[in-house]
Structure 1
Amino acid sequence: MDKIRLILTLVTIAIVVIPIVGMLLAYQGNLLDLFIPPGIAEVADDFMGGNGPGLEPPLMVGEPTYDEETETFSATFEFTNPFPIDITINSLSGNIECVEHHFTLGNASLSEAISIDAGETEMLTINGKWTNAGKSHFQNDHADEEFVVVVLSDFAVDISGIQIQMDENQMGE
C-alpha cells in the first residue's frame, strides 16, 4: 500500500512539475514572453518606437474653439492608428500646460471613446476647462499674443484596456 501511495505521489508531482519545467526551458532565452503574449509585446514595441518611428502625436485639425460662458474649450485632432491591430481609445485625459512658462492652465479629456481600425485615421475631439489661474496666466503673460503653444502633460490614456500614465518627469522636454 505504501508503494502505491509513493508511486501516486511521484506521478502527481511529475504531472505538475514536468510541464512547468518544459515551459521554462522553452522560454529560457526570454522569460518575459512566457507571461506577456507576443501580440501585446508587439503593440508595446510599436508604441515605444522599438519597431520603427513609434507612436506619432495627433495633428490638430482646424482651430480650437472656446466658450467664454462655460469657460470650456474644444479641439479636434486627426490620429492614425500605427498598430497592426484595431484599437479603441477608451479615455484620454491630462493637464494643459503653457510650453513657454511650464504653467498648468487647465485640464482636458477625450469627448468620447473611439475605435480606429489598423492603419486607419479618425478624428478625436478633446474637451477641456481652463482654471482661474490659467485664465489669469493668459491675461497677464499672453495678453498681446494671438497664439499660445500648449501641451498635454501628466496624461493618462486607455487604449483597448491597456492603461498608460505619464507624468512630466517621464515625458521629457
Structure 2
Amino acid sequence: MLNGTAGKLYGGAAYRHFSSAAFTRINDDASSDDANLWSVGAGYKFDRNWDLSGAYAKNTEADTNATAHNIQLNYKGAQKANKGSWGAYTAYRYMGQNVAFAPLYEMFLTDSGMNNVKGWEVGAEYIPFTNVMSKIQYFNGKKLDSDRDAEGLFGQVNFFF
C-alpha cells in the first residue's frame, strides 16, 4: 500500500491478494480460489470545510461484479472531543460484490444484506456530548444483479472511552 500527500491533494494505491475456497464462485469456470484486488484513490481538501474524494477498485480474478467506485463530497466533520460539532456528506457508490467485500462506508448496507448495489448516499454526524457520536445514513439505488430498487436508512450512536 502506498499513500501520499502534496499540499491539499492526497492519494494512494494498494494491492491485496486473498485466497479462499469462498472465491471459487466469482469465476465462471470455478478454477481459482484467489482474489486479486487493485485500488487507487485520491482526494482534494478545498478548505477546512470542504473535501472531495474518490476511489476505484478491481478484482482481476472475478468474471462479474468485479469493480467498485465511489465519489464523496464532505462538509465539515464531527470531532468526538468537540461537543456540538457536526459533518455531512453526499456520495455516489458502485459496489460490485466481488471486489467490495466489506467497505467501511457501506457497513450498514452490508449488515442489512444490501451489498452489490449502486446509488446515492447522504449522511450526517453530530456530537451531542463529548465522546458521543450520533450518525444517520440514507441510501437509495439499485441492486447490480437484478436492477431492483435498493434503499436503506441507518442510525447509530457511538460512545468513545
TM-score (norm 1): 0.24
Which structure has more helix as a fraction of its residues?
1
**More RCO (CA 8 Å, sep 6+):** 1
Q: Specify which structure has the higher proportion of strand.
A: 2
The structure with the larger Rg is: 1
